[in-house]
A and B are shown apart, each in its own frame.
Chain A
Amino acid sequence: MTPEGLILLSPYDLALSAGLVLMLAGLSWQLSLEIGGRMLIASARATVQLLLLGLVLKALFSTTNPWLVAGLATLMLAVAGYEVMARQRHRLSGPWGYGAGTLSMFLSSFSISVLALLVVVQPTPWYAPQYAIPLLGMLLGNTMTGVAVSLDHLTRQTLDKRLQIEARLAIGQPAIEAIGDIRRDALRAGLIPIVNSMTTAGIVSLPGMMTGQILAGSPPMEAAKYQLMILFLIAAGTGLGSMTAVLLGSNRLFDRRSRLRRDRLGE
Chain B
Amino acid sequence: MSGLRIEGLTGAGVRADHLHIVAGSCYSLSGPSGSGKTLLLRAIADLDQTDGEVWLDDQARSRLSGPEWRRRVNYLAADSQWWARCVGEHAADWHAPDLVALGFESEVLDWEVQRLSSGERQRLALARALAHAPQALLLDEPTANLDQHNTERVEQLLADWRRDKHGCVLWVSHDPAQQSRVANQHYRIRDGVLEHRDDA
CB within 8 Å of A: which B162-185 residues: none
B77 touches A172 (CB 8 A): no
Decide if A68 is an interface residue (CB 8 Å cutoff).
Answer: no
Among candidates B65, B75, B80, B91, residue contacting A257 with C-beta atoms closer than 8 Å: B65
| Chain B residues in 8 Å Cβ range of A172 | 67-68, 70-72, 74, 132
- Central interface residue in B67, B81, B129, by most chain A CB within 10 Å: B67
| Chain B residues in 8 Å Cβ range of A171 | 70-71, 74, 91, 128-129, 132
Decide if A168 is an interface residue (CB 8 Å cutoff).
Answer: yes
B81 touches A167 (CB 8 A): yes
| Chain B residues in 8 Å Cβ range of A257 | 46, 65-66
B interface residues, how many (CB within 8 angstroms): 25
Count of A-B residue pairs with CB < 8 Å? 60
| Chain B residues in 8 Å Cβ range of A259 | 46-49, 66
- Central interface residue in B48, B68, B80, B83, by most chain A CB within 10 Å: B83
Decide if B21 is an interface residue (CB 8 Å cutoff).
Answer: no
| Chain B residues in 8 Å Cβ range of A174 | 67
Decide if A122 is an interface residue (CB 8 Å cutoff).
Answer: no
B45 touches A170 (CB 8 A): yes
Decide if A164 is an interface residue (CB 8 Å cutoff).
Answer: yes
Q: Which positions in A face B, CB cutoff 8 Å? A: 161, 163-164, 166-175, 181, 255-260
Q: Which positions in B face A, CB cutoff 8 Å? A: 45-49, 65-68, 70-72, 74-77, 79-83, 91, 128-129, 132
